[in-house]
Amino acid sequence: MKPVRHPDAPAPGQLLGAHYGECFGCGGLQPHGLHLQARAGEGVSITAEFTVQPAHQGAPGLAHGGVLATALDETLGSLNWLLRTIAVTGRLETDFVRPVPVGTTLHLEAEVTAVAGRKIYSRATGRVGGPDGPVAVRAEALFIEVKVDHFVQHGREEEIQAAMNDPDQVRRARAFEVNP
């Protein structure tokens, strides 16, 4: 089925902020995290930026492939803001097209291509040298919709309790869960 942008989705151009402060992809509280900033696009699409830091190296002076996959995963995950669902990555297939040096800003864009029940299909690209620069990485993904209970059941007690004691975190999560 064609994806449908939720009527309460953030407006195109709006910065989305972190879904969880400790998130390695988007959280502000992770010193070595990606601090990826995502913005709502048109339809069910997202743009995001991430600058490769020295802590993200694999080979000398180059981004680790797993970190680049994280940037793609996080950008793809941000699409859920536009659907107003909570979903986790079930499958992530990544192409590494060119090496990405430390200091490079990766310009990411992602879109949902189809939704089938709980399954959300999406794809993303990461470009270097600007939003219209050459493609360095791309991915196709399948996210699966879950309830807040997924995290409560599986997450470590310590972090779950802290998240549940944070009214903003709970409000955000519950608002997504009651997606009509």
Ligand X SMILES: CCCCCCCCCCCCCCCC(=O)SCCNC(=O)CCNC(=O)[C@H](O)C(C)(C)COP(=O)(O)OP(=O)(O)OC[C@H]1O[C@@H](n2cnc3c(N)ncnc32)[C@H](O)[C@@H]1OP(=O)(O)O
Binding site for ligand X (CB under 6 A): 19-20, 73-74, 77, 86, 88-91, 117-119, 142, 144, 146, 148, 151-152, 163-164, 169-170, 173
135 or 170, CB closer to ligand X? 170
- Answer yes or no: are the C-beta atoms of 87 and 146 closer than 8 Å: yes
Return phi, psi of residue 40, to 5°.
-65, 140
Q: In the bound complex, what is the minimum distance in angstroms from residue 134's beta carbon to ligand X?
A: 26
59 or 88, CB closer to ligand X? 88
Quote helix, strand, coil % in the chain, to nearest 5: 25, 35, 40
- Return left, alpha or beta for 130; rule: phi > 0 is left, psi -120 to 50 is alpha, else beta: left
73 or 111, CB closer to ligand X? 73
97 or 146, CB closer to ligand X? 146
Q: In the bound complex, what is the minimum distance in angstroms from residue 118's beta carbon to ligand X?
A: 6
